[in-house]
């Protein structure tokens, strides 16, 4: 695979896990649904100001100071209450990144989804997971191999994560339902796609776990499927690609997995089969060639620090960075910083352009410390003047 970009820990650490009151949960949703509040901005606001309620109060001031020419749109309380009420009726639980039950592995990536709606067993999300994805127009051999991988990995203690698509995804879910499966949806928790998977989706929501970052009732759009694929990659320690054509959405999941530092496993295929073109190319690029389940387990076992085939779920925090356990006391939030002075905002704006740059590069060019740059970027982000392009990169938004 292509070399992974260097990751730098320039942003504040993930806010300490906490138990949210109903009022603070509502404030979190309003913050997420407010204008110009993306995943990074949501995290930074919570970390800086000690909670969503306080962040909501300061939003207008931050946006105005960043240069917004009009008041920032804040999600009305009634709208957020309706969304949560619908989710509750559907049996879905909202999980915010600041909560203990938010999947720890996903929380560790850059810009994790601030909110997940989850239906089913939350405990499944605490277990080590492997993604299995592949072609919708799959072969009979591909389905057979997928079922073998999924059932044997489930027997070894892994949860299987996939996207509930036709073909390979469906086979992976069906074979792992008894052992633990997670379906990541591109639309709302109540939206069934494809329609013929209605019964399978219902069973996963009862016996496994359904996950989506989209609000209830939302029909998936084309741009929602890559977002779903990134969540699949973020939830797992490795992704197995069974079949994929040269131009396939499955390869998007593999790319995200590589970018997030996950293991990418690829099943080789016949050179004349177009469904093997993508998988064979992945192997050429450095993906791990797999022909049996043992190939996957042997790579993942040392990553998880496990020796036995049957995995120990008693200490999930040993395998990923997490907030405090329910019996621990979360440290007090960092004090809210001063606003960015006008000369700091001007210096940061001058250092930015249409080409994306890293925060530490802006810090070096301006001579400002990283925290001062972050505060300025927070105000500029809320004013809609910059865009975050992933991997800690920021660019000036075109007029």
Q: Which pLDDT value is given to residue 305? A: 78
pLDDT, tens digit only, all 399 positions of the chain: 644 433 333 233 444 456 788 999 999 999 999 999 999 999 999 988 889 999 999 999 999 989 888 899 999 999 999 999 999 999 999 999 989 899 999 999 999 999 999 999 999 999 999 999 999 989 999 999 999 999 999 999 999 999 999 999 999 999 999 999 999 999 999 999 999 999 999 999 999 999 999 999 999 999 999 999 999 999 999 999 999 998 888 999 999 999 999 999 999 999 988 999 999 999 999 999 999 999 999 999 888 875 443 333 333 333 333 333 333 333 444 454 567 788 888 999 899 998 999 999 999 999 998 888 988 898 899 999 998 887 788 998 876
DSSP H stretches of helix in 183-292: 198-207, 224-235, 249-259, 277-284
Contacts of residue 302, defined as CB under 8 A and 6 or more positions apart, other chains included, come to none
Domains by residue range for the chain, with CATH: 22-90+335-396 (1.10.10.10), 118-318 (3.40.50.450)
Q: Which pLDDT value is given to residue 160? A: 98
Q: Which pLDDT value is given to residue 9? A: 34
Q: Which pLDDT value is given to residue 332? A: 43
Upper half-sphere CA count for residue 96 (Cβ side, 13 Å): 26
DSSP string covering 5-55: PPP---SPPPPPPBPPPHHHHHHHHHHHTSTT--HHHHHHHHHHHSSHHHH
Q: For residue 209, give the 3-state DSSP assignment.
A: strand
- Strand pairing of 93-96 and 115-120? antiparallel
Q: Which pLDDT value is given to residue 312? A: 37
């Amino acid at each position: 695979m292509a070399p992974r970009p260097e990751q730098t820990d320039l942003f504040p650490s993930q806010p300490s896990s906490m138990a949210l009151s109903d009022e603070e949960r509502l404030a979190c949703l309003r913050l997420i649904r407010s204008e110009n509040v993306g995943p990074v901005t949501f995290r930074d606001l919570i970390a800086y100001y000690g909670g969503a309620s306080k962040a909501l109060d300061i939003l207008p001031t931050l946006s105005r100071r960043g240069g917004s020419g009009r008041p920032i749109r804040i999600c009305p309380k009634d709208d957020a209450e309706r969304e949560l009420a619908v989710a509750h009726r559907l049996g879905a639980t909202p999980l915010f990144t600041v909560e203990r039950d938010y999947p720890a592995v996903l929380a560790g990536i850059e810009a994790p989804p601030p909110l997940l709606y989850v239906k089913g067993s939350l405990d499944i999300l605490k277990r080590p997971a492997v993604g299995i994805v592949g072609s919708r127009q799959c072969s009979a051999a591909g389905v057979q191999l997928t079922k073998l991988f999924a059932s044997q990995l489930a027997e070894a203690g892994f949860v299987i994560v996939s996207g509930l698509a036709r073909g390979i995804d469906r086979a992976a879910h069906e074979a792992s339902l008894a052992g633990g499966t997670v379906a990541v949806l591109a639309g709302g928790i109540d939206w069934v796609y494809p329609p013929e998977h209605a019964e399978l989706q219902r069973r996963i929501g009862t016996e496994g776990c359904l996950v989506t970052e989209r609000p209830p009732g939302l029909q998936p759009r084309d741009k929602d499927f890559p977002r779903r694929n990134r969540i699949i990659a973020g939830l797992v320690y490795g992704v197995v690609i069974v079949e994929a054509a040269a131009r396939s959405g499955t390869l998007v999941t593999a790319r995200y997995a590589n970018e997030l530092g996950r293991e990418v496993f690829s099943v080789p295929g016949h050179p004349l089969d177009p469904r093997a073109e993508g998988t064979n190319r992945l192997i050429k690029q450095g993906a791990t060639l797999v022909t049996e389940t043992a190939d996957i387990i042997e790579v993942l076992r040392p990553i998880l620090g496990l020796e036995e085939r049957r995995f120990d779920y008693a200490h999930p925090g040993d395998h990923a960075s997490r907030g405090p356990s329910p019996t621990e006391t979360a440290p007090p939030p960092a004090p809210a910083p001063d606003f960015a002075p006008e000369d700091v905002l001007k210096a940061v704006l001058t250092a930015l352009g249409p080409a994306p740059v890293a925060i530490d590069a802006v810090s070096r060019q301006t001579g400002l410390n990283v925290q001062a740059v972050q505060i300025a970027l927070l105000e500029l982000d809320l004013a809609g003047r910059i865009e975050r392009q992933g991997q800690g990169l920021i660019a000036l938004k075109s007029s």
